[in-house]
Amino acid sequence: MSRTFLPREIREGLNKASGYLQADHLDKALDCMIAALKELGKHPLSVLKEARPAIQSFLHAFAKHPRVSILFEHKEDVFDAITYRLGIEAKLAVVLEGMAKILQEQTKLHASITQLAEQRQRQHFLIQSGLKHLEDGQILLAEAFFQRLLAEFPEAKEELLACARHLEESGCLAEAGNFYASLLERHPDLAEASSRAIDIWMRLKDYERADAAIKQALHVFGAHPRTLLRRAHLYVLMGKPEEAKGMLEEALDKDPSLSEAHALWEELHKP
C-alpha cells in the first residue's frame, strides 16, 4: 500500500523515533514516538493502518533493548501494554511516557552510582598518595595530598581525621596541628579535632594557639569543667596564675568533685 495517507509530520516523527532507537538514544526515541502517537490520535483509520508497521517495528526493537528488556522480566503485563493495536494511540503514549520516566530514573541512578564509585576511587588515591609520601618522609607532599582531600571532600570527616592522626603518629606535630585546625574551620563541632589540636599545641609549647583552640572549644561546646581545667593548666604554663585561678573557680563551681582542679588550686595557693 502506498503511503499517501501518512502526513509528513507523523512520517518524519516515526522515522526519527526509529533512528534515535538504533543510535541508542532512548529518551529522544521515546519523545518522537510519543509525539507521533498523540498526533495519530487525531487522524482517521486509514492513517493509523499506514503507520502501524512502523510503530510495531519500533515497539519490537524497543522491548528488546537491554535497558528495557530487563524491566520486562517476569512482567508479561507490561510487555502487553506496549503492544500496538489500532485505536489505542493515546493509551500507548501514556504507557511510553511512564516508561520514559522509569528509564530517566534508571539513568540517574546509574550516574549516581558511577559518580560515587569515582569519588571513592579519588579519595582512595589521595589518601594512599599522602600516606606513601609520609612513609617516604616527604612531609610537604603528604600534607598537600591530605589538604587536597579536605578541599575536594570536606564532608569525609572520618577519612580526614585519619589523615590528621597519621601525621600526628608520624611525629609531624605542627603539620597535624595545622590539619586539625583546617578541619575545625570546616567543622567547628568536630570534638576529636578540637581536643587533639589543643594537645598538640600544648606539646609544642605554642601556648597562644593552644589558648585560641581552647577558646574556640568553649565557644562551640560550652564551658565544660575539664575544658576549663585545661585552660587553667595552660595559664599556669603561660605564667598567668591569676587567670588560672579564675578558670579553676569556674571549673569547681560547675563540678566541685573535680579532684585535679582541687589539686591545682592548692598548688597555686601555697605560700
In the prediction, which pLDDT does 62 show?
A: 87
Task: Give the chain's domains with CATH numbers.
Answer: 8-111 (no CATH), 142-268 (1.25.40.10)
Residue-wise over 238-264: b if at least 16 C-beta within 10 A, else e?
bebeebbbebbebbbeeeeebeebeeb
* Cα(166)–Cα(77) distance, integer angstroms: 58
In the prediction, which pLDDT does 3 show?
A: 46
- pTM higher than 0.75, yes or no? no
In the prediction, which pLDDT does 74 show?
A: 52
In the prediction, which pLDDT does 194 show?
A: 94
Closest CA to 60 of 98, 21, 34: 21
Name residues of the chain where pLDDT drops below 70.
1-4, 72-82, 271
Q: Which tens digit of pLDDT belongs to each residue from 91-111?
A: 888 888 988 888 888 888 888
DSSP 8-state class, residue 239: T
Question: Could you tell me if 56 and 84 are in contact, meaning their C-beta atoms sit under 8 angstroms apart?
Answer: yes
In the prediction, which pLDDT does 75 show?
A: 55
Question: Could you tell me if 156 and 124 are in contact, meaning their C-beta atoms sit under 8 angstroms apart?
Answer: no
DSSP 8-state class, residue 102: H
In the prediction, which pLDDT does 200 show?
A: 96
